Structure 1
């Protein structure tokens, strides 16, 4: 094995009196999947980013959340207002996060090294990856339930498979789950470009399906809907509920906000991100909100009941071919959401943990196996696990986001020495103290504790919806105020100048 290298400017070499930093990327920090994407090979344009949101916004979990707002008493205009506010918040946060990926070309676990250090970066990466693995399994289970219902409607004899249960799931459920599990593993194993192509194809089908579903419901309800389910909120209380609903919607995307650079590292330019976000987030979210109020308002007018998710409406379609098409669209949608929100993050996390043993494809299989062995249907059916364990982990994402943003935008002013992200040299910019930045850890721990307490302790239920924001702002403030090693380097060296080992 020989090593060919391109010239590297480390930044440290330009400083009088500073020792030279090794130009060789460490095999414990570098692999082809973790390497910065070169600008000439980037394929994500504005449409790619738009379709990402066209799929992800319309997930079954999001519909369950939004319809729940109607069930809690929020009226149509209140729900629409909440999503307008949420789209503004998310556009700002995702544009800030996405710019980092576009400029440096590195995935989130590597980007975290700027603030947490080359070793400390495993902390936010593992938190993000752990949450994603659990939700990957749960979302696959939800899609498999739709597939099982479709299979029984097309072949009633399969209903007998539901009489036998193994490890908490019936045999038909196991078959449906494993089919979708294999499909997702195959798609991810071919890398980010295949994921992009799948998402771009799935988006139009998803949008058309939900428009058709909304029109069908309107025809059943004589082209009118209930504007609320008996709203008890007025005055200041009403506006607080709107603001909390918007904040909770941002919390749902707290995972995506954190690792958006996993996708934008493949963006052709920052303009592609801005255009894709500008069109994709407000347009898709308002379209989504419109579908929600039509589905929930029409169903409430029909029978005084509030549906729990769109799958309930789909299963009520009397025409078998239309039922099949709608069910398949829901499955295609859930796969697209899973690929983006819950598969890519743990893959990069695992590659970052074991760069010498795992590549993107192997990490995808390992991630999927973990999502299977946790028996996600048991997790989903346990409110304690979903609310406390996954809710607690999710509350940690806000503080991690606050620290990375404060470091990148305020202290570093967007200047990063990308080759140093892969260096174990003690003199490298991100070596800190044995690879861990004590300043980041000292900011993360108390901010995370506060966020988890606010999110989970009943006494704070009035502000629980704002736990992500409180944690992010507190962590950012602590990180900026705590003493620590200087983190505002003079250099700004991009990934095009990194020394890339080759055979």
Structure 2
């Protein structure tokens, strides 16, 4: 690589060496379990039942979402598995070196840091309950003392969980692999146990299967599509940066089958557990329980409570590292290669995740999640552009020397790939306008689908139009050169 290109990257962003590519089927089978089995996911399914959907409609939504998600993870993870490159470098292929800054900052800085702070605080709540089960006075520690709205026990739990997250920055990708393998059996035992608990209190499986929904008003197809879009929208950031983890795979076959089997089996368990918990609790207690922490609180075994809370903490830790810390560290290292490497970038992101005071943000969840949904609405079109560029235009071939070079050979000069940027902005704006313009509301409700499909179509059109335009300009310039006679 040329000397002048060295300012473009840190060594952490180089293609993964063969000896570092150690992840096998088992790693990818379990890596996303924390992203599926968490409190927000169960609350989302509760919201589907609140809309009046039936058990079988919700089951269909969850399984179809899992199939689509697995396909997207595998497809967008292919380049990482083949070339060993992270998202912050891969995105340059379709957007140009400088053009990649916009989607990179949205995903790797804004969304990752915000979600890191929120997930860290959410995990700390489970830590407080967990320690309280072991040492009863802990939740009331410090009496009325508070720091910026946090009680002493809440502050200790937050810092403790934050430190555990940060430790994984230094322990490396092997420790993350061990964590995900440990989490796999725990998830099946704990959430499978919750399903059995709900069936028991409901008086068996029959009362749950006989549950009758209130019925859906209006266009049920649009509602079902919007529910699928809601599940997939929560994954848009992970889909984008999946190459950050597939770059460690021994082969694309390992990440293909690992992610497919892991996501489908995990979502099958999630479908059974979430439906039985929510409907079973409504049959048993007259009120549906959407929060799994409330389910755990009703257990009469201290061992079951501690094991369940520990699993929730580990699930949150897993998704926080994979979905937030790794992308944020890589992106900051790509933005400031002279000043930061992956570890220093990840630590900076973790500090920023505390400084945004996530406990304050969660006091008004509507505004913060509206903001994050808008960021997600702009990110889903990036997926469409990346997939079209890699599979249809590049035919799965990437010139790494060119990708890491200052002088990237793009259709449009000065390192901004205009077709990609324009397609993303137009598709994202069209989806988000539905929040403000009633006639476009259906596009907003299915923004995950509309963002990807519209951007993919626009990108193909703009790409070949720009290609045709450049070819015409070259012909005209060639024709204008006087011939020597």
TM-score (norm 1): 0.87
Deviation of 1:400 (Å): 1.1
Q: 1:37 aligns with which of 16, 23, 41?
A: 16
Cα deviation, 1:173-206, whole Å, max 9, x if unaligned, reads 1110110000010012222222122111122112
Structure 1 residues 312-321 or 253-262, which shifts more? 312-321
Q: Residues 165-180 of structure 1: matches in 2 within 5 Å?
A: 165-180=146-161
Number of aligned residue pairs? 464
- SS across alignment from 2:249: coil
C-alpha distance in 2 between matches for 1:54 and 1:422: 33
Contact 2:427 2:454 in 1 (8 A): yes
Distance 1:464 1:432, change over 3 A: closer
* Long gaps (5+) in structure 2: 470-485
Measured at CA, do residues 331 and 51 of structure 1 come closer, stay the same or move farther in structure 2, by a change above 3 Å? same
Seen in structure 2, the aligned counterparts of structure 1 residues 236 and 388 have a Cα distance that, compared at 3 Å, is closer
Alignment of 1:438-453 (within 5 A): 438-453=418-433
Residue 422 (structure 1) shift: 1.2
CA offsets 1:284-323 (integer angstroms, 9 cap, x no match): 1111111101111111011111223101111222332322
**Which residues in structure 2 correspond to 1:148-297 (within 5 Å)?**
148-158=128-138, 159-161=140-142, 163-224=144-205, 225-227=207-209, 231-233=213-215, 237-297=219-279
Which of 144, 165, 168 is 2:124 aligned to? Answer: 144
Q: Is the 8 A contact 1:391 1:455 kept in 2?
A: no
Distance 1:431 1:365 in 2: 37
Q: Which secondary structure state, in structure 1, belongs to the residue aligned with residue 32 of structure 2?
A: helix
Matched, 1:350 2:332: yes
Please provide the CA RMSD for this pair.
2.3
Verify the 8 A CA contact 1:48 1:276 in the aligned structure 2.
yes
1:395 aligns with 2:377: yes
Distance across 1 between alignment mates of 2:100 and 2:19: 28
What's the counterpart of residue 47 of structure 1?
A: 26
Are the counterparts in 2 of residues 50 and 279 from structure 1 also a CA contact under 8 Å? yes
Specify whether residues 162 and 200 from structure 1 end up closer, same or farther in structure 2 by C-alpha distance, changes over 3 A only.
farther
Give the conservation status (yes or no) of the 8 Å contact 1:251–1:468.
Answer: yes
Residues of 1 paired with 2:161 and 2:337: CA distance? 28
2:66 maps to which residue? Answer: 87
Q: Deviations over 1:336-371 (max 9, x none)?
A: 111111221111111111122222221121111011
Q: What's the counterpart of residue 112 of structure 1?
A: 91
Residue by residue over 1:49-88, the C-alpha shift from the partner in whole angstroms, topping out at 9 and shown as x without a partner, is 1111333221222122122222332222111101121122
Distance 2:154 2:315 in 1: 19
State the alpha-carbon separation in 1 of the partners of residues 105 and 176 from structure 2.
22
Aligned to 1:125: 104
TM-score when scaled to structure 2? 0.90
Q: Which runs of 5+ in 1 are unaligned?
A: 1-21, 488-503
User: Of Structure 1 and Structure 2, which has the larger fraction of its residues in helix?
Assistant: 2
**Is residue 330 from structure 1 mapped to residue 312 from structure 2 by the alignment?**
yes
